[in-house]
Amino acid sequence: MIPLSHILLLSVILFTLGAAGFIIRRNVITVFMCIELMLNAVNLAFIAFARRLPGLDGQLFVFFVIVVAAAEAAVGLAIIVALYRNRNSLAIDDVDSMKL
Amino acid sequence: MEILFYIFGVVAIVAALSVVFQRTPVYSALSLIVVLAALAVIYLLLGAPFIAMVQVIVYAGAIMVLFVLVIMLLNAGHEGPSAHRAKFARWVGPPLLLAFLVEFGVIVWKQYGLTGAASAPALDASPAAIGRLLFKSYILPFEVTSILILVAVLGAVVLAKKQL
Amino acid sequence: MATFSDTEFFLIETVIKIALIMFILLTAIAYLTWLERKVIAHIQSRWGPYLVGPHGLLQPLADGLKFMFKEDIAPLEADPVVYWLAPFLAFLMAFLSIAVIPFGESFTLAGHVIQLQITDLNVGLLFVFAVTSLGVYSVALAGWSSNSKYPLLGGLRSSAQMISYEVSLSLGVIGVLMIAGTLSLREIVNQQAGLWAHAGLFSVLPRWNLFLQPLGFLIYFTAAIAETNRIPFDLPEGETELVAGFHTEYSSFKFAIFFMSEYANMVTVSAIATLLFFGGWLGPSFGPYWLRVILPVLWFCLKLFCFLFFYIWVRGTLPRFRYDQLMAFGWKFLLPLGLLNILVTSFVMAWLHS
Amino acid sequence: MTSVGSADFIRILPELILSVFALLVMMLEPVTPLGKKTVLGWVAIAGVILAGLASFAIAYFPGSAFSASISNDGFSNYLIELLLLIAGLVLLGSMAYLERDAIDHGEFYALILMATVGAAFMVASTELIMVFIGLEISSISTYILAGYKRGEMQSNESSVKYFLLGSFATAFFLYGIAFVYGLTGTTNLDVVRETLVNSPQSASPQLLWLAVILMFVGLAFKVSTVPFQIWTPDVYQGAPAPVTAFLSTAPKAAAFAVLVRVFVGSFDHVASAGPVVFWLLWISAVLTMCLGNLAALWQSNVKRLLAYSSIAHAGYMLVGITAGGAEGTSAVLFYLAGYALMNVGAFILIAHLAGSDERYTNVQDFTGLAADRPGMAACLTVFMLSLAGFPSTVGFFAKFYVFRSAMHAHLTGLTIIALLNSVVSVYYYLALVVAMYMGEGKTQVSESSVPRALGFAIAVSLLGIFFLGLFPSGLLRDLNSLHVPWL
């Protein structure tokens, strides 16, 4: 059988990569995709734990997370489209009309 | 079967690296789809066939399509070098995250060890079993997500439509 | 005769099955193009292919050779990786879903039970949907990577159409799933065995789901035509507006791959329709053992053929929709109808159970 | 356990009524003639009032619902009423604003209602997955609301920033939930507490700490504590002012409720997690108060100033949560009510004063307002004084109770830091007042008379501020006697 720690490590690596991407990427869409990567890491953790614990609850949580991710994607991409209409750019550095 | 986990785990990590380090958004999106597919296979191996399919149908087949469509629509091209001064977070963030990763890894390792198998008595994870649980114990979250989806639909229309 | 262990046997069996099915499918697709040209020609009072071989029977071969040896032209500005990837993705997705489609009952050979199906998943139908939903990428990416105006528009249109109709497609089959209570295709077919009992005059009819879910079938098949981008829903390729849609910039072998995947998709959705609504391979079965193995496969192929013929017939008869009409039809008519079907089905089922 | 009965539905009646009215508003939108869209606002307010009545009624049916995922107790009831108050005031304050700036009405009201539904589910649920879904409903609605002026650059930017950082935070929160689930096998907060208290060996302490920290990071983004406050100023400044009034209070109140339920309710009782929770809260309380107040000193934009002030207030509330226990909890709940009244009042008044398309939001635009419009200047002054914590306003007692609870919990150092901070904060609140009364020259802000609905909302918040400022003991007594199992 696959050790739980290996699955969790995979999950943590994906989560960290997503978080790192969130910080270093500059394109809004890529940044958003990094968030999706993080959510997937969470899902993997849920599935891994669901394997170890009695009951299917962990699998159901993944189901809910996927639904939420879909809702978030719809709204997020709409926001990004509106951003592009206003500025003709997707670079996150350009989102700076308000400064200290 | 275990070997499949490691193969697809490596695929997922490589593809995730590619999501983060590709400079063209379409390549990032394609890499993310690879991650999703690899995870779907891993879910299958971990005894979650229904979730694996939902992952492919909803995540890879609908959400990521939306991403790809938006990228195509906005013609998001190559990401240039940062025009602004190097942001503080960009220098501090990755080392912090690396520390987090190592810390987390060590703790997980300590807790579950090298060999602590991720197995419980084989569960009936068929769609029927999931459905039963969903409509009995989790009926409220299930119903409430419909409000969430309604909000999302409303929001997409409000924000993206040129004229209401 | 050497004896094999179970694992070895399983491996060999699977490889042989895959090879055989691929071969048959590719041939079938080749001849489907011939059939299409012939039928359309006859509908339009023409001869169709006639010169290469008797009744043009060797025409598909000639076409294949032509595609193989034609010069492969790629646009200069095309994205190199994705431009290559798209057709192969289309091909992969089109042929992957065949893996879970059962086409006959099982038989025993040298003490091993052999199922006429590459693999039997308990979420078989979901697998088909999963793979079909990934098919959108090939279209979207082909359109984008060509870096040209018409393919991009065609790709956008086509992917929007495909994801829109996917919803109705799945809504159409949910009625059947509610009745069957399983997602395994083999199981669903087995539940349709026999004739209707206590149905008076209708007792001669087989117990196909079609009679329980006529609306579901109509929704499914309408959506399936749109999903495979066929007339009257072939807007993505509307020649008059978009040249040839997403594959305008593709030529020679890569074009052939797109072409083949389209036909493979037709076969897949027809096969699903057969399995879910028309009792799959079930039919009169008699005679010696080998005949009882062969006959179901024959019934299955026959039913499949009827669907494919219907596809071609529709193409020869109906005009093309306008794009906004197509989207309105999908979202404002087919989708509510699908929901209504589910609602009615669930009410009837609840009533019968109580 | 698993079957759903009418009692289950009664216990979520306020949320149900709000959802129905949100749908009603959306359905009435297309049939309402163009000039009469404010009617929809009144429909929404009717929904809020009905939901309020329902929440008073369900106080008589305490207990859990839907497989123990919803708890209808004094805590959730109070917070739902508070959320409804916020929603009502914001709705009243936004009708004239939408009319003036020619913004679409229907969806706006529906989104406010849905955001309130989400927040209400957050405060009422004891199941982390339900908390998560409520959080997402309220967050996604507010992302949309922040970018509601879709053609306007600042509104759009506000929405982009809020969305990206909000989703980022949600991922952390969710990862925390995953680990809590992995360690305890459940996501029900009560069961989590029992499992961890009864068998502390079942979970490795380090992994538990990580879970706690991850969940804290997620919630800290929502309540904007340092260092997770970076989005706050931009988002508050860019969003339409009535929306800012809403998102600086309602989601914050809900997130604080979850913080209390999770950290005071569940993890504080766990021996191995208690100290981690304590120091997390302690450090972020100090950082948040200091940074919020210091940064506010340099602000010239009123919305931005109030954004930093709201960060500082989050810091004060964290002091109460750090103190913990029944006293800390009731102090925080009291604070939330006061904070909501003054912040909503201030933002909707500023929304009015700022003129069409919010042209005048700088402090110097308000110079000499007292001479021109003495009534409005007086109202704004009261809000500022209350935010600063002057006696006889609710701000004073809010701070007083929180600091008192901290003293009782022997957090002398924290209390002193908090006191120093509130002294500093007086400076920037008074700067605005000084500008209004003593500034030379004519005011830029030249808005016509106050619309009736807005006037009513402001009157309600002023009344609340003075009532709670003069007679705080009644509410506090009620809050002290909340019957919650985990206190």
Q: Is the CB of A82 less than 8 angstroms away from the CB of B160?
A: yes
What six digits make up the tokens of D216? 């804290």
The verdict on domain A4-94 having CATH code 1.10.287.3510 is yes
Of the spans A63-72, C68-77, C205-214, which averages the highest pLDDT? A63-72
Residue of chain C minimizing CA distance to B71: C144
Q: Which chains touch A (3 or more CB pairs under 8 A)?
A: B, D
pLDDT for residue A99 is more than 70: no
Instruction: Give the whole-angstrom CA distance, residue D225 versus residue D319.
Output: 12
Provide the pLDDT for residue D310.
Answer: 94
Mutate to test the interface with C, among B24, B34, B36, B65 (most CBs of C within 10 A): B65
Q: How many domains does chain B have?
A: 1
Q: Is the CB of B82 less than 8 angstroms away from the CB of A93?
A: yes
Provide the pLDDT for residue D35.
Answer: 80
Asked if B90 reaches chain D (Cβ–Cβ under 8 Å), the answer is no
Nearest to A2 among B5, B19, B54 (CB): B5
Range of the domain at D85: 6-480
Residue of chain B minimizing CA distance to C135: B61
D to B contact (≥3 Cβ pairs closer than 8 Å): yes
Q: Which residues contact C271 (CB under 8 A, 6 or more apart)?
A: C98, C101, C103, C300, C304
Instruction: Give the whole-angstrom CA distance, residue B74 versus residue B82.
Output: 20
C-alpha Rg value of chain A to the nearest Å: 17
pLDDT tens, position by position, D343-399: 999 999 998 888 877 888 888 888 888 888 888 889 999 999 999 998 889 999 999
Q: Which chains touch C (3 or more CB pairs under 8 A)?
A: B
Nearest to A1 among B6, B109, B118 (CB): B118
Provide the pLDDT for residue B127.
Answer: 83
DSSP H or E stretch at residue C335? helix C335-353
Report CA C268 to chain centroid distance, whole Å.
Answer: 2
Range of the domain at B29: 1-79
Instruction: Give the whole-angstrom CA distance, residue D108 versus residue B154.
Output: 10
Q: What distance in Å separates residue B58's CA from the closest CA in chain A?
A: 7
Mutate to test the interface with B, among A36, A39, A92 (most CBs of B within 10 A): A36
What six digits make up the tokens of D159? 């929405």
Confidence of residue A100 (pLDDT cuts 50, 70, 90): very low
Q: Is the CB of D237 less than 8 angstroms away from the CB of A38?
A: no
What six digits make up the tokens of C318? 């109906």
Q: Does B73 fall in a domain?
A: yes
Instruction: Quote the ipTM score.
Output: 0.91
Asked if B86 reaches chain A (Cβ–Cβ under 8 Å), the answer is no
CA distances to C13, C17, C116, C235, D238 from C21, rounded to whole Å, are: 12, 6, 10, 31, 61
Q: Is the CB of D157 less than 8 angstroms away from the CB of A98?
A: yes
Q: Does B10 fall in a domain?
A: yes
Measured between its terminal Cα atoms, the distance across chain D in Å is: 25
With tokens 């040839």, the residue in question is C244
Q: Is the CB of B72 less than 8 angstroms away from the CB of C156?
A: yes
Q: CA triplet D10, D13, D18: central angle to 5 degrees?
A: 165
pLDDT for residue C196 is more than 80: no
| pTM, rounded to two decimals | 0.91
pLDDT for residue C102 is more than 80: yes
Nearest to A23 among B5, B17, B93 (CB): B93
Label residue C45 left, alpha or beta by phi (over 0 means left) and psi (-120 to 50 means alpha). Answer: left
Instruction: Give the whole-angstrom CA distance, residue D103 versus residue D93.
Output: 14
Provide the pLDDT for residue C1.
Answer: 46
Instruction: Give the whole-angstrom CA distance, residue D360 versus residue C105.
Output: 78
Peptide bond into D227 cis (omega under 30): yes
Q: Does B116 fall in a domain?
A: no
Instruction: Give the whole-angstrom CA distance, residue B136 versus residue A56.
Output: 13
Strand partners for D301: D362
What six digits make up the tokens of D162? 């809020």
Q: Is the CB of B151 less than 8 angstroms away from the CB of D19?
A: no
Q: Is the CB of A73 less than 8 angstroms away from the CB of B101?
A: no
Q: How many domains does chain D have?
A: 1
Provide the pLDDT for residue D1.
Answer: 44
Asked if B26 reaches chain C (Cβ–Cβ under 8 Å), the answer is yes
B-chain CB neighbours of D136 within 8 Å are 148
Provide the pLDDT for residue C144.
Answer: 84
Asked if B51 reaches chain A (Cβ–Cβ under 8 Å), the answer is yes
Q: Which residue ranges in chain D fall short of pLDDT 70? A: 1-3, 202-203, 441-448, 483, 485-487
Asked if B48 reaches chain A (Cβ–Cβ under 8 Å), the answer is yes
Tens place of pLDDT per residue across chain B (164 aa): 788 999 999 999 999 999 998 888 888 999 999 999 999 999 988 888 889 999 999 998 889 998 988 888 887 666 665 555 456 666 777 788 888 888 877 877 777 765 555 555 566 778 888 888 888 888 999 999 999 999 999 999 888 876 65
H/E/C letters for each residue in C293-326? HHHHHHHHHHHHHHHHHHHHHHHHHCCCCCHHHH
Q: Does D486 fall in a domain?
A: no
Q: Where do the structural domains in chain A lie, given as residue ranges?
A: 4-94
Q: Does B141 fall in a domain?
A: no
More confident residue, A47 or D68: A47
Instruction: Give the whole-angstrom CA distance, residue D379 versus residue D436.
Output: 11
Peptide bond into D240 cis (omega under 30): no
Mutate to test the interface with B, among D133, D161, D187, D230 (most CBs of B within 10 A): D133
A to B contact (≥3 Cβ pairs closer than 8 Å): yes
Asked if B73 reaches chain C (Cβ–Cβ under 8 Å), the answer is yes
Q: Is the CB of B126 less than 8 angstroms away from the CB of C137?
A: no
Nearest to A64 among B67, B105, B141 (CB): B141
B-chain CB neighbours of A9 within 8 Å are 105, 108-109
Provide the pLDDT for residue B104.
Answer: 78
pLDDT tens, position by position, C215-245: 999 999 999 988 887 777 776 665 556 666 7
* Backbone phi and psi for residue D442, each to the nearest 5 degrees, phi listed first: -85, 145
Q: What distance in Å separates residue A19's CA from the closest CA in chain B?
A: 8
Instruction: Give the whole-angstrom CA distance, residue B161 versus residue C328.
Output: 17
Instruction: Give the whole-angstrom CA distance, residue C187 versus residue C180.
Output: 8
Kindly report the CATH number assigned to the domain that includes residue B62.
1.20.120.1200
What six digits make up the tokens of B31? 């890499």
